[in-house]
């Protein structure tokens, strides 16, 4: 995950795996600026219902990478869970790739930035490669 942070020039990187199959994500956060802000403990072990209202949920439901240039510019109806979390934790741009094993979702990998700075096509492709490799590991 540290490699994800370096290549994407992100402040945060995390994986989410299913706590109960297809019901809730369990977050595992990487080294992040949240540690410096004292918010890391709040984020460890967060359970997030798998739904289209959250970018990670949408990525695994649709089985495709989601790239949000600025979550603040998205409609509340489109990503209500992600928008609420972004207001709490300050991230603006992020990309999320599903982790699929034989086309069955087992989790996701997300990178985010606190500033509005979209990810490049190359960075998104590399994120997808990391997600594919994480399933094998």
Q: What is the pTM of this model?
A: 0.74
Any idea where the domains of the chain sit in the sequence? 2-136
* pLDDT score of 117: 93
* pLDDT score of 9: 54
| Closest listed residue to residue 94, CA positions, set 73, 20, 63 | 73
* pLDDT score of 32: 46
Q: Are 91 and 114 in contact (CB under 8 A)?
A: yes
* pLDDT score of 112: 84
Q: Are 45 and 19 in contact (CB under 8 A)?
A: no
pLDDT in tens, the chain (137 residues): 455 545 555 555 555 555 444 544 444 444 444 444 555 555 555 566 778 888 888 998 899 999 999 999 999 999 998 898 888 778 899 899 998 989 888 888 888 888 999 999 999 999 999 899 888 86
* pLDDT score of 10: 56
The CATH superfamily label for domain 2-136 reads GAF domain (3.30.450.40)
Alpha-carbon torsion 57, 63, 68, 72, what sign? negative
Per-residue H/E/C for the chain:
CHHHHHHHCCCEEEEEEEEECCCEEEEEECCCHHHHHCCHHHHCCCEEECCCCCHHHHHHHHCCCEEECCHHHCCCCCCHHHHHHHHHHCCCEEEEEEEEECCEEEEEEEEEECCCCCCCHHHHHHHHHHHHHHHHC
């Amino acid at each position: 995950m540290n490699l994800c942070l370096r290549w994407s020039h992100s402040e945060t990187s995390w994986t989410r795996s299913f706590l109960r199959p297809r019901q809730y994500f369990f977050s595992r956060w990487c080294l992040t600026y949240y540690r410096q802000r004292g918010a890391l403990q709040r984020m460890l072990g967060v359970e997030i219902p798998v739904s289209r209202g959250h970018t990670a949920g949408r990525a695994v439901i649709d089985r495709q990478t989601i790239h949000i240039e600025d979550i603040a510019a998205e409609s509340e109806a489109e990503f209500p869970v992600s928008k609420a979390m972004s207001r709490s934790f300050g991230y603006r741009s992020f990309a999320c790739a599903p982790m699929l094993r034989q086309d069955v979702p087992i989790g996701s990998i997300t990178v985010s930035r606190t500033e509005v700075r979209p990810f490049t096509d190359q960075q998104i492709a590399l994120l997808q490669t990391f997600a594919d490799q994480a399933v094998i590991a």
